Amino acid sequence: MKLLKLIPDNTNIRFLRWRVPFYSVSLLLMALSVGLMFTKGLNLGVDFIGGQMIRATFQQTPAAPVAELRETVGKLGYGEPIIQQFGKPNEISIRMKLPEGSENDPGLADAMARKIISTIQAEHKDVRIDGIDSVSGKVSGELFSSGMLALALASVAVAAYIWMRFEWQFGVGALFALVHDVTLTMGMFALTQMEFDLNIVAALLTLIGYSLNDNIVVYDRVRENLKKYRRMPMPELLDLSVNETLSRTVVTSLSLLITLVALLLFGPDVIFGFTAAITLGIFVGTYSSIYMATPILIWLKVDSGSFVQQESEIDRQERLARERS
Amino acid sequence: MLDFPRWKQAWYWFVTLACVAAALPSLFAIGNTGWPSFLPRPMINLGLDLAGGSHLLLEGNPDQVRRQRLESMEESVRSRLRNAPARIRIGDISTRNGSLSFMLEDPSQVDATREQILPLTTGAGLTGKRDWDIRVEDGSRFVLTPTEAGIDQAVSDAMETATEVVRKRTDELGTREPTIIRQGERRIVVQVPGLDNPEALKNLLGQTAQLEFKLVDTAASPTDIAQGIAPPGSEIVPYADPAKSGGMPAIAVKRLGGIKGDQLTDAKQSFGQQNNEPVVSITFDQQGGAKFAKLTTENVNKPFAIILDGKVLSAPNINEPILGGSAQISGSFTVESANQLAIALRSGALPVDLKVVEERTVGPDLGADSINKGLVAMLIGTVALMTFIIVTYGRFGIYACVALVINVLMILGVMAVANTTLTLPGIAGFVLTIGAAVDANVLINERIREERAKGRRVVQAVELGYKEASRAIFDANITNVIAAVIMFVVGSGPVRGFAVVLMIGIVTSVFTAVTLTRMWVAGWLRKARPADITL
């Protein structure tokens, strides 16, 4: 039986030749992402800013009348709603700020939800209410800070472990690649204004997991080659390592993409945004482990000295003494 | 490396089968097929985001606890000093600024007073810590301030009781399998699967249901009450429904000497004899009944106020002593609200006010829809993935795929035994673990390929493949464990759900993708002794 072979043996693509332009582009994209986050901002869900979200499906209408709903709900006197389609065009989420004083009287939020739902259902009989979330400002603040703290702490701890197992340069490289991945993905969320909620934080964590996995595989090969080829110049050695692991990179990434595309096409709509984020993350993560995490080793001046046992001064003198006698 | 003694093989198979067996009841439940009832049935719980239902996060407000501690301290101090060997007279009692303060009429009694009240200020536990600080100002004014430790303990106890009360009330609504957990210092999580309109539950849990009977201070002038000025020893309490009180927005009641309505054996909704309006009938226990009888006997022909959660429901006249130990509470109820109050009183008053700070409801249709689509997508994804792996790695790919299936079953099995909850982010954890498991096999197989290409013999290449790839697999998995543990400790809800699956999945995926496949490959090599392998 002939097996499928996507990448031929002994490829010799000089990936790192374009490290400077790629790095420049990536740094530029990162700057743009940060800029977008500050100017356009993330479309934070009720998880993070508090408020009320009603999810509804129009069962017999192909597309929800978003503009019309915006107007009718806006007229109810609770402020401007944020209405978005998610997953399919007939599924929407309506987000509202919690009414004034609802911190002390939770009944106000319920009354608002009832009013909105009955108004919509009066005009559209086919609307099915799929869920209502109300999150107070206090809880949402905590959710946001604990989510971000988990993200930051996990990244730093993981970098520290890589430092311990490899060298500090590798730790810095891995951390930088993680920052790169997370920044670009968040920039994407700012650009598309897709809703950023707690589930997306879980997606970011998954993305970090994949990206790290990739980094470590390449780093492991770099470590091995550093021991094997002591005199090879760094750029060449890194290219060799990336090429040797290329087949694995492609097969693994493809395997994951197959699963994710199935989830995107056939999976439940609630996890669409979430799966999309992870899918994007696969590309970004694979790219960053080759172009972000690897070239940084050249600039941070890694050499084989880190992994080859150095002869200690005492050993050297003893050896010299032996040789003399 | 390729040596697997029999006991080791037996042990690996045992672990595998045990975990897979634990997953079976959950799978049977998904397929709606019966699982024999005589067998143990560990189950994976589906999170509300998948199964539909309501999630409420309640937060306790400790103000009530503070206030009550001050009140009961005041009563204790009064009775203690009144009954002291040499009676100690005090005046100008106040409970402002969170402290209890009073003045001695005879400043020479400072030491005697201190001796009397000292026993009241130590904590109930054996820690010897004091719950209250005593300070004497200007030689004759005592100021008792509760210590933070004392309050924390009291709040903690109150939350414990509140959790019990919440459980009772939720059960009274007839909901199925609610989960009620105390979270952190001041919060309680209530999760009710299948409940898509939580309003009744919220109303019930939001009602503190502190019932009090206090005597009305008839001496207070209406103008003073209107201005909120209470006569000494009294307090102003607003009416719950001013329309019923003949236009009076509030009433003055005596602060002390009333009784609490917490010593009840029963409470139910019924109808009043005179005007047939909905009322709540309560039955006191023996002690409560005796207190109530005493109160009504001593105060015939005086009005007393029925106060619920700081609002007066009604202030009827005591026409005759009520000795039977039961009473009716009226106060513009509907049948529904009377019923709700009855449930609340039956399950006991909440020792703290609870407020809903987070609420999530997922409709049951959406939940079921999500599960079905999720399963279909997983199935399609898995079949496609397996085809790809087998086409790429042949025999070794088949081993990898079998390991993958076992891995998924093992994760489910461990989750079922640990009784964890599978949520949407948990599925993400699944995807990540499956990715890691596939990657482990890809790494190993690519390495074997490489070693073969260098011209090594089959056994040696396989051995090296596993050995060299294991290092990267190990490092990758350790980093994921580190990340997962941190996420579990620091993160909240969804992040934790993700971390749990990840932690379990890392262990099982290394076991299946590395250990099990190696055992199978080794077995095959020993038996077939192939001179060449297709990879």
Using pLDDT thresholds of 50, 70 and 90, give the confidence band for residue A209: confident
Where is the domain boundary, B307, B328, B360?
B360
> Which residues 470-489 of chain B have a CB within 8 Å of chain A?
471-472, 475-476, 478-480, 482-483, 486-487
Kindly report the nearest CA distance between residue A316 and chain B, in angstroms.
31
Q: Which CATH number fits domain A15-40+140-306: 1.20.1640.10, 1.10.472.10, 3.60.9.10, 3.30.530.20?
A: 1.20.1640.10
Rounded to an integer, what distance in angstroms lies between the CA atom of residue A99 and that of residue A111? 10
Residue from B278, B248, B389, B446 nearest A255 by CA = B389
Q: Are residues B374 and B498 in the same domain?
A: yes
Kindly report the nearest CA distance between residue A305 and chain B, in angstroms.
20
Size of interface A-B (CB pairs under 8 A): 228
Domain at B115, CATH number: 3.90.1070
Where is the domain boundary, B127, B151, B175?
B151
Q: Are residues B384 and B475 in the same domain?
A: yes
Q: Which fold has domain A51-135?
A: Alpha-Beta Plaits (3.30.70)
Residue A53's closest chain B neighbor by CA? B360
Q: What is the DSSP string of B24-90?
A: HHHHHHHTT----TTS----PEEPHHHH-EEEEEEEEETHHHHHHHHHHHHHHHHHHHHTSSS---E
Q: Note whether residue B172 is domain-resident.
A: no
How many domains does one find in chain B?
3
Compute CA distances A282 → A89, A114, B37, B354, B388, whole Å: 26, 42, 44, 44, 18
Q: Note whether residue B106 is domain-resident.
A: yes
Interface pTM (ipTM) of the complex?
Answer: 0.82
Helix (H, G, I), strand (E, B) or coil at B138: coil
Q: For CATH 3.30.70.3400, list the domain ranges present in chain A.
A: 51-135
Q: For CATH 1.20.1640.10, list the domain ranges present in chain A.
A: 15-40+140-306
Minimum-distance CB partner of A205 among B362, B479, B495: B495
Kindly report the nearest CA distance between residue A317 and chain B, in angstroms.
35
Q: Are residues B120 and B143 in the same domain?
A: yes
Rounded to an integer, what distance in angstroms lies between the CA atom of residue B317 and that of residue B146? 38
Q: Are residues B463 and B331 in the same domain?
A: no
- What tens-digit pLDDT sequence spans chain B (535 residues)? 567 888 989 999 999 999 998 888 887 776 656 666 666 777 787 788 777 788 888 988 888 788 888 888 888 888 888 887 878 888 888 877 788 888 888 888 888 888 888 888 776 555 566 788 888 888 888 888 888 888 888 888 888 888 888 888 888 777 667 888 888 888 998 888 877 778 888 888 888 888 888 888 887 777 777 777 778 778 888 888 777 666 677 888 888 777 887 778 888 888 887 778 888 888 888 888 888 888 888 888 888 888 888 888 888 888 888 888 888 887 778 888 888 888 888 888 888 888 888 888 887 776 677 778 877 888 898 899 999 999 999 999 999 999 999 999 999 999 988 888 888 778 778 877 888 889 999 999 999 999 998 889 999 999 999 999 999 999 889 988 888 888 888 877 777 888 888 899 999 999 999 999 999 999 999 998 888 888 7
Q: Are residues B325 and B416 in the same domain?
A: no
* A218 pLDDT more than 90: yes
Minimum-distance CB partner of A133 among B360, B439, B446: B360
Compute CA distances B505 → A25, B378, B385, whole Å: 36, 17, 18
Rounded to an integer, what distance in angstroms lies between the CA atom of residue B76 and that of residue B201? 37
Q: Which structure tokens are listed for B269?
A: 């909704």
Domain at B265, CATH number: 3.30.1360.200
Q: Are residues B263 and B372 in the same domain?
A: no
* Spatial contact of B434 and A259, defined as CB atoms under 8 Å apart: yes
Kindly report the nearest CA distance between residue B528 and chain A, in angstroms.
17
Minimum-distance CB partner of A3 among B360, B370, B534: B534
Q: Are residues B325 and B368 in the same domain?
A: no
Q: Note whether residue B443 is domain-resident.
A: yes
Range of the domain at B299: 207-360
pLDDT for the residue B35: 65
Q: Are residues B373 and B471 in the same domain?
A: yes
Q: Are residues B348 and B440 in the same domain?
A: no
Kindly report the nearest CA distance between residue B406 and chain A, in angstroms.
17
Residue B132 per-residue DSSP state: E
Judging contacts by C-beta atoms under 8 Å, the chain A residues touching residue B199 are: 110
Residue with tokens 């009888």: B293
Residue A48's closest chain B neighbor by CA? B358
Q: Note whether residue B533 is domain-resident.
A: no
CB contact under 8 A, A55 and B380: no
Minimum-distance CB partner of A258 among B384, B442, B472: B384
CB contact under 8 A, A110 and B429: no
Q: Are residues B370 and B343 in the same domain?
A: no
Q: Note whether residue B163 is domain-resident.
A: no
Judging contacts by C-beta atoms under 8 Å, the chain B residues touching residue A222 are: none
Q: Note whether residue B185 is domain-resident.
A: no
Q: Are residues B367 and B352 in the same domain?
A: no
Q: Are residues B240 and B336 in the same domain?
A: yes
Rounded to an integer, what distance in angstroms lies between the CA atom of residue B502 and that of residue B491? 14
